[in-house]
Amino acid sequence: MTTGLLNVVDVEATCWEGAVPPGAVSEIIEIGLTVVDLDAGARIAKHRILVRPDRSTVSEFCTELTGLTQAEVDTGISFPEACRLLATEHQAALRPWASWGDYDRKQFTTQCQSTSTPYPFNSQHTNAKLLFSEAYNLRRRQGMSGALGIAGLPLEGRHHSGADDAWNIAALILDIITRTPWRATTTA
């Protein structure tokens, strides 16, 4: 098992019920981050970074899903500032990190490329959804909420809140490491 601290990341991004409006792109509007001490088997910190979108707005559908409003994300920081904050205050380039599935990693990669922002994370990423499926011998990968039910863990907070989802994913990671060795699933 990998030891030390692990950053668990979950993002919320602008979204729409139907087609993406002309000229808009899906942009990160919230970064949830929970720090897990793998040695102690504990969640030790919970963080929330609001990010102000540049090329899209928060739709009514997005507000219903995430609880985030345009007025709220307007108080956030820019995406490049958020990436700098991840690197400096959360040691994103030094610590391994995990997310539920590969969406978060891909969203960061795409948005960093499109905004010429340095990628804040190191290459040691773990797709916790994949390891959960392996740990429970599941043929079909589960969403976070379904996985919590399988593991017998409560959903804490609001689903589709980046900070709360990162906290819940961290609980699932602590369950996973009792069942199977922890490892990076993506190394670049």
Least reliable range by pLDDT among 1-5, 24-28, 136-140:
1-5
- Give the helix/strand (H/E) hosting 81: helix 79-89
- pLDDT tens-digit map of 141-156: 999 999 999 999 999 9
| Cβ atoms within 10 Å, residue 37 | 15
- pLDDT tens-digit map of 14-59: 999 999 999 999 999 999 999 999 999 999 999 999 999 999 999 9
- Of the candidates 71, 56, 46, the one whose C-alpha atom is nearest the C-alpha of residue 13 is 56
Query: Position of tokens 């808009």?
Result: 24
CA Rg, the chain, in Å? 16
> Are 97 and 125 spatial neighbours (Cβ–Cβ below 8 Å)?
yes
Domain ranges in the chain?
Answer: 5-176
CATH of domain 5-176: 3.30.420.10
pTM for the predicted model, two decimal places: 0.96
> Are 79 and 54 spatial neighbours (Cβ–Cβ below 8 Å)?
yes
Q: In what order do the strands lie in the sheet with 97-99?
A: 42-50, 28-37, 5-13, 97-99, 125-127
> Are 172 and 151 spatial neighbours (Cβ–Cβ below 8 Å)?
yes
> Are 165 and 184 spatial neighbours (Cβ–Cβ below 8 Å)?
no
